[in-house]
Structure 1
Amino acid sequence: MLALSANGVLPKADYAIFADTGWEPRAVYDHLDRLEREIAAPAGIPVLRVSSGNIRQDALDPAHRFASMPLYILNQDGKQGMTRRQCTGEYKIKPIKRQVRGLLGYPYPQRIPRDVFVEQWVGISTDEFHRAKDADVRYMRNRHPLIDLGWSRSDCLRYLTSVGFADTPKSSCLGCPFHGNAQWRHIRDTSPDEWQDVVAFDAAIRAGNARANASGNPLLGEAFLHRSRVPLSQAPIDHVTAAEWAARQDALPDTDPEEWERGVVDGCSPWACRGEADAALTRDDVGLAS
């Protein structure tokens, strides 16, 4: 959408906002720098980087309130679950709303008049049209330009290729539990230091939220980044044949090998995270102590 705006296909945007969780892959930050330098700046579109903190550091800090990631849980009785996904709201939506209020001149807790609002573009393509929703506040009115253009994900990829951005990386936390095996392999095989980072984080969150543990509300099972619910360093992330997959079903209960391989196809968009329906379990569902 930024390239379409800069090149006159869409109206010129006043601002672009990037919500930084503090734990994106290095390739995403490099891409953002290039996007700002080669697309946004020449078109006179400021790129505003906003943040609510570093999600990795916050998760391991017992003194910090942590908005939970959708971790895979294996309880002591063998029951499986997931923790509630709060990270998108805390680390993406919240800082964007704070920035928008500032741009409008009404920082929280000031009341914003009904006739004051921004038109916010959300990059959902026709493949995901059912995820196009209205904003939940009056001062932000969502618009979906890609759907208006009738563009699919393939159309977007073709356009990015035509303007020299064919290798645009997916934006999501380095250790997002919604990664598929292909993404985990890519990290392991192309960026050893980032792989060691996520393996270390996976081990560090085995007992759950650091603050919850410190406050006497520990997880009664174990938490994992990989859906197999084994340590990431040992997880079955290498591509397997259909025969091998069939042989593994006793150990890997989910039956869709393509889902395991691809994970969440799109990046973690603030208003369109595809994992939102998968991570809605309550405290009791995941075996937290009361």
Structure 2
Amino acid sequence: MTITTAAPATPAPETVPDLETFSYGGGWQSTAALVLAARGELPFRTFLFANVSDDSEHPATLRYLAEHAAPFAAAHGIALHQLARIRRDGSTETLYGRLTKPESRSLPIPVRMSNGAPGTRSCTADFKIRVIGRWLKAHGATAEHPATIGIGISLDEIERANNRRCEPHERIVYPLLDLRIRRADCPRIIRSAGLPVPPKSSCWFCPLHRLSAWTDMRRTEPELFERACALEAHLNARRADLGKDPVWLTRRGAPLAEVVPTDNVLPLDFGDGACDSGWCFT
């Protein structure tokens, strides 16, 4: 799909640009937005999926994208672009690769510190916001003619609308808020199009997972859970070499394998994290 801009010579600051895109995160809200766009109830014909990388995104999200979201978008004339973080040398950088790079000292994910609080993170900015921003600029977005980028924040999480940093070349809108759509409305919208409801969208090792999500992973995806345990151990081995305190993937201050139950009883979950359905991009 070729996108061109044809703005007036001296547009007013409030002029809506021709480049209208939607940030697709693979979760309930953005998939509901995809359905609404297919119906003509939202104006977006270009959806952008910033893939943190095939080794970092949850495999179920990537399967849903390939088997359901992408074919649905194509059938309704919607361009669903999958984007990646590209280095200056042309190679692709992955979040998991950055975490496990031998000489790296950075922790771009919000690992839990000894007091249970999440550390600072750069993963969302580096692997999602900036990746989409580069695509927008490459397709004509400028500070004078910003592109519209829709974010799938629903009415029940309206407070998140103020947490998204706005770049000079983009104009952020929240169409689900305008339609007063709540997260609970999204499965009905998705099923009405004949699509299955997507799984929770996040990186498989995200420290903002709720404890119930880790428990589900240990029970239903044991190999993926073991990879998360191995990643946590790898990070702490490197921190020990640097003389730093350990970090964790939950706020319980102990190794993941010790914190997550091995039986089938779901634990009480008092909000160990915020990654319920695509905290980064819904």
Q: What's the TM-score bracket when you normalise by the shorter of the two chains?
A: 0.7 to 0.9
CA offset digits 1:26-53 (Å, max 9, x no partner)? 1100111123443210112111111222
CA offset digits 1:115-166 (Å, max 9, x no partner)? x121111101110122224752232111111111111111112211222334
Task: Trace 1:158-237 onto structure 2 (pairs within 5 A).
Answer: 158-207=188-237, 218=242, 220-237=244-261
Q: In structure 2, what is the Cα distance between the partners aligned to 1:127 and 1:165?
A: 23
* Aligned equivalent of 2:60, options 7, 10, 27: 27
Q: Percent identity?
A: 27
For the residue of structure 1 that corresponds to 2:139, the secondary structure is helix
Deviation larger for 224-233 or 80-89: 80-89
Q: In structure 2, what is the Cα distance between the partners aligned to 1:208 and 1:63?
A: 9
* Aligned equivalent of 2:153, options 124, 127, 147: 124
TM-score of the pair, normalised by structure 2: 0.76
Aligned to 2:39: 7
Aligned to 2:73: 40
Q: Is the 2:116–2:250 contact (alpha carbons within 8 Å) kept by the matching residues of 1? A: no
For the residue of structure 1 that corresponds to 2:277, the secondary structure is coil
Aligned to 1:145: 175
How far residue 258 of structure 1 moved from its aligned partner, in angstroms, is: 2.6
Q: AA paired with 2:266?
A: H
TM-score of the pair, normalised by structure 1: 0.74
**C-alpha spacing 1:39/1:80, structure 2 compared with 1 (3 Å):** closer
Deviation larger for 116-125 or 230-239: 230-239
Which of structure 1's runs of 4+ aligned residues deviate more than 6 A? none
Q: AA paired with 1:19?
A: A
Q: In structure 2, what is the Cα distance between the partners aligned to 1:187 and 1:84?
A: 25
How far residue 101 of structure 1 moved from its aligned partner, in angstroms, is: 0.8
Aligned to 2:278: 267
Aligned to 1:102: 138
Q: In structure 1, what is the Cα distance between the partners aligned to 2:127 and 2:107?
A: 8
Q: Aligned Cα RMSD in Å?
A: 2.4
- The answer as to 2:119 corresponding to 1:89 is no
**C-alpha spacing 1:80/1:183, structure 2 compared with 1 (3 Å):** closer
**C-alpha spacing 1:68/1:207, structure 2 compared with 1 (3 Å):** farther
Q: Is the 2:110–2:119 contact (alpha carbons within 8 Å) kept by the matching residues of 1? A: yes
Q: Is the 1:71–1:82 contact (alpha carbons within 8 Å) kept by the matching residues of 2? A: yes
Q: In structure 1, what is the Cα distance between the partners aligned to 2:65 and 2:81?
A: 11
Q: In structure 1, what is the Cα distance between the partners aligned to 2:237 and 2:99?
A: 12
**C-alpha spacing 1:224/1:89, structure 2 compared with 1 (3 Å):** same
- Which consecutive residues of structure 1, in runs of 5 or more, have no partner in the other structure? 107-111, 242-256, 273-290
Q: In structure 2, what is the Cα distance between the partners aligned to 1:44 and 1:65?
A: 44
CA offset digits 1:230-277 (Å, max 9, x no partner)? 111111445346xxxxxxxxxxxxxxx4313x753331334x8xxxxx
